[in-house]
Amino acid sequence: PGPLDHISVSPDPASVAAGGTLLFTATAYDQYGNILAGVQFSWTADIGSVAGGLLTAQTSAGAGTVWATNGTVTGSAAVTIVPGPLDYILVAPNPATVRVGESLLFEATGYDQYGNAITGLGFTWTTDVGAVSDGLLTAQTVPGTGTVTVTSGSVSGSANITVQVGQLFQIILIPDPLDIAAGTPQMFFPLAYDVYGNSISGVGIVWATDVGTIDSAGLYLAQTVPGSGTVTATNGTVTGTASVNVIPGPLDHIIV
């Protein structure tokens, strides 16, 4: 064989898992493709460390090169560092809040032990607070807490979920109906519910009546003459109504 002309490095191209190892070999040739035996090589890489042709890949996914050099002649192989085996799964958003009966989309991403994202994984979704398909949660119709869980093989990840009461749908007043003596006080209590009948606490109420007076706490005072009307409790566009019948009070005096 003639003088060294070029060097071939194999495998080329190559793929190796993050943090993994792969052995490369180099072969020297003269200009006519004859193999030169006994040639020594100096190894370098920009995607990990290499000694004697054995590459120890970096822990982050990426692409680079392994070189084998003798004198002024260099050969190279293209290397792709791919994520390693699935180590853990993250589900987002986490934690999450959703109203009863509403939907929320979750996303799952799998990672190797070095935090490299893995694409193309198949996931199985489950939940204990509703129904979930392909990451889309439809929340149960009662408030509660639970999880959305995603599994790939033997690896699982989860997100914590709080299912809250829905928006105000109905206000019911107690008592309703009310027969009350003229000039008598009566406390009204508003009960607020969402569309699924879940009780909502802390709802602000604007009170009104056409058969007496009522204060901001719901304390009603009947007018002093008999008549029929209503007491209303309003929050935004939602109003609850109680029927009120003001009747004469106990005998107080007689006019002759």
pLDDT at 251 over 90: no
Tell me the mean pLDDT in the region 173-181. 97
d(C-alpha 93, C-alpha 194), whole Å: 25
pLDDT band at 1 (very low <50, low <70, confident <90, very high): confident
- Which residue type does 27 have? T
pLDDT at 163 over 90: yes
Tell me the mean pLDDT in the region 95-104. 98
Mean pLDDT of the chain: 96
pLDDT at 250 over 90: no
What does residue 133 show for φ and ψ, rounded to 5 degrees? -140, 125
pLDDT at 234 over 90: yes
Task: Please tell me the predicted confidence (pLDDT) of residue 155.
Answer: 97
Tell me the mean pLDDT in the region 170-186. 97
* Residues 125 and 131: beta-carbon distance below 8 Å: no
Tally the C-alpha atoms within 13 A of residue 83's C-alpha that lie toward its C-beta: 17
Please provide the distance, in angstroms rounded to a whole number, between the alpha carbons at the two ends of the chain: 145
Encode burial over 230-248: b for 16+ CB neighbours within 10 A, e otherwise: bbbbbbeeebbebebebee
Task: Please tell me the predicted confidence (pLDDT) of residue 165.
Answer: 97
d(C-alpha 231, C-alpha 141), whole Å: 31
| Strand arrangement, sheet containing 238-247 | 178-181, 238-247, 227-235, 206-209
d(C-alpha 51, C-alpha 184), whole Å: 97
Torsion of CA 156, 162, 163, 164, to 10 degrees: -170
Task: Please tell me the predicted confidence (pLDDT) of residue 119.
Answer: 94
pLDDT in tens, 24-67: 999 999 999 999 999 999 999 999 999 999 999 999 999 999 99
pLDDT band at 253 (very low <50, low <70, confident <90, very high): confident
Tokens 């009603």 correspond to 220
- Which residue type does 157 have? G
pLDDT band at 249 (very low <50, low <70, confident <90, very high): confident
